[in-house]
Amino acid sequence: MVDSTLTGTARRPQPGEPAAARISRAVRRIVSSSTAREVAELTRTAEQIQQPVTTGRQIAVTSIRGGAGKTTVAALLGTAYAHYRHDPVLLVEADPALGSLPLRLGAESLRWTTADVADIVEPQMSLLDVTGYLVQLPDNAWLLPGSQGRIGAMLDTAAYERVMVALRRYFGVTVVDCETLPAEVARVALSAAQARVLAVPATLDGITSAYAVLQWMQGLPRHMIAGTVVALTSTTSRPGIDVEAAAERLRSTGAAVHVLPHDRHLAAGGELRTGLLARPTRLAAARLAAEVFQLSQKRR
């Protein structure tokens, strides 16, 4: 059970950008053709995300350290897929260290965990049977939490592999919120996924660590780096680095890079409410989701 006393301490959620910025954007949309261009781009992005799959796509999200925005990126991706796709979408928490994915997704109660379900799902089960062990979210999305909100049994690699193999056929897209690298479950998740996302804060130490990890991935089979996308997240409205220059440097490794702009709603933590995201954040998240999905389609 999610502690309602703790969640009640959160202040009222605020929009992703200040009122002045929203008003200015609305005025520009009235007097320019940018709205039509944005609609056209969003339509193309939606079409990419909505492509059918022959087998479920599994996308692993990880980071180098805690506080890099890993869970936020996983929540953004899962929410985007659930919004645009018509088949069931699953979000899996494979972080045994009391992760915050249920809080980010607004889950009010937790029952079965990833480790539990690994020993429950059987081949003859229907989707209805399986979802009985999951937490239902909006837009035909489901959550499999890593814990019940308290310290319990650790998730090992064998249990992770069992649950991911067992659930793959039920869901068009599965987004996995992994533990941080170089933990063992994270390594297994990255290797088994059809696409990978590395959440990186737009700070000097963040991009330095990310570059080192991407160089390490260059020594792995080619599909590993080719199927990796860096989500470079601006943690403040004025980052201390040249974000575009940093993105280009990271792209030189062979990985794709998407920049997620600073967003006050995301920075505040708590439940992700897409209606409160700044418009640039929504567009950036949709672009990220589309590219990651396209990369996942290139792998069996």
- Average confidence score pLDDT of the chain: 87
What is the pLDDT at residue 30?
46
What is the pLDDT at residue 4?
54
What is the pLDDT at residue 182?
82
User: Residue 40: CA atoms inside 13 Å, Cβ hemisphere, count?
Assistant: 5
Q: Give mean pLDDT, residues 82-91.
A: 96
Please determine, for residue 20, whether its predicted confidence score (pLDDT) is greater than 70: no
What is the pLDDT at residue 96?
65
Phi-psi region of 121 (alpha: psi -120 to 50; beta: other; left: phi over 0): beta
Q: Are 272 and 137 in contact (CB under 8 A)?
A: no
Residue with tokens 């056209």: 40
Q: What is the pLDDT of residues 119-153, one digit of tens each?
A: 899 989 999 999 999 999 999 999 999 877 666 56
**Distance between CA atoms of 127 and 161, rounded to whole angstroms?**
19
Closest CA to 257 of 299, 202, 203: 202
Determine which of 37-51, 77-91, 124-138, 139-153 has the lowest per-residue pLDDT on average: 139-153
Please determine, for residue 18, whether its predicted confidence score (pLDDT) is greater than 50: yes
Q: What is the pLDDT of residues 217-272, one digit of tens each?
A: 999 999 999 999 999 999 888 888 999 999 999 999 999 999 999 999 999 888 99
Q: Which tokens go with 267? A: 């920075």
Residue 135 neighbours by CB under 8 Å, 6+ apart: 102, 107, 109, 110, 111, 142, 143, 144, 145
Q: What fold does the segment set 52-296 form as a domain?
A: Rossmann fold (3.40.50)
Higher pLDDT, 13 or 213: 213
Q: Are 177 and 93 in contact (CB under 8 A)?
A: yes
Please determine, for residue 33, whether its predicted confidence score (pLDDT) is greater than 90: no
Q: What is the pLDDT of residues 152-199, one digit of tens each?
A: 567 889 999 999 999 999 999 999 999 888 888 889 999 999 999 999
What is the pLDDT at residue 34?
61
- What is the C-alpha radius of gyration for the chain, rounded to an integer number of angstroms? 19
Please determine, for residue 29, whether its predicted confidence score (pLDDT) is greater than 60: no
DSSP SS3 for 188:
helix
Q: What is the DSSP letter of 178?
A: E
At 57, the pLDDT band (50, 70, 90 cuts) reads: very high
Q: Give mean pLDDT, residues 201-205.
A: 94
